[in-house]
């Protein structure tokens, strides 16, 4: 029987690896990390602005040390790190695409997307259902629940 790790267990393992790397890396390797973190943070700001919450940005920055290109660079190897703003933007897009919570954060911030999903839910309801739900005061809460569930599904969290 194989054990499937939960999200919480995966998060704890990831945090453990990050702490281990940061605590065992020599100072000169950690000094190489600082400018990379700055470039990465700038790329996240350029691409996503306020769509990424400060907590999610901090999470992405913390996890940067686990990216293979970064590890190779820190250890002195020849890594193909971005050298231009466009390169860093592509790198940031890739890391965000691999992080379901970051995708959810961005999609949740997109009000146009939320409204499109809400309208698709309402358009599928019959007129009688729309009237009944409006009278009962449940139309808004049910449509909001549908939007949240759809965003979570799109982010790969369901």
Q: Which residue did the predictor score with more confidence, 31 or 1?
A: 31
Task: Kindly report, residue by residue over 142-153, the tens digit of the pLDDT.
Answer: 999 999 899 888
| Structure confidence at residue 2 (pLDDT) | 59
* Region 8-13 average pLDDT: 78
Sequence ranges of the domains in the chain? 7-108, 110-154
DSSP 50: G
Q: Identify the weakest region by mean pLDDT among 38-47, 74-83, 120-129.
A: 74-83
- The CA distance from 76 to 72, in Å, is 6
Burial category of 112 from C-beta neighbours within 10 Å (exposed 0-12, middle 13-18, buried 19 and up)? exposed
How far does Cα 13 stand from its chain's mean position? 18
3-class secondary structure, 16:
helix
The gap between the terminal CA atoms of the chain, to the nearest Å, is: 24
Please count the helices (runs of H) and the strands (runs of E) in the chain.
9, 0
């Amino acid at each position: 029987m194989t054990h499937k790790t939960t999200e919480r267990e995966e998060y704890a393992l990831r945090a453990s690896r990050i702490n281990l790397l940061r605590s065992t890396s020599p100072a000169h390797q950690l000094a190489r990390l600082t400018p990379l973190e700055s470039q990465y943070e700038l790329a996240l700001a350029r691409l996503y602005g306020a769509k990424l919450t400060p907590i999610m940005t901090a999470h992405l920055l913390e996890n940067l040390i686990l990216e293979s290109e970064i590890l190779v660079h820190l250890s002195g190897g020849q890594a193909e790190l971005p050298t231009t703003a466009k390169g860093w933007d592509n790198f940031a897009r890739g890391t965000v695409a691999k992080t379901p919570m970051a995708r959810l954060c961005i999609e949740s911030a997109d009000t146009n997307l939320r409204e499109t999903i809400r309208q698709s839910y309402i358009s599928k309801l019959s007129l009688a259902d729309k009237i009944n739900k409006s009278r009962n005061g449940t139309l808004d809460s049910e449509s909001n629940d549908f939007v949240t569930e759809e965003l979570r599904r799109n982010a790969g969290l369901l």
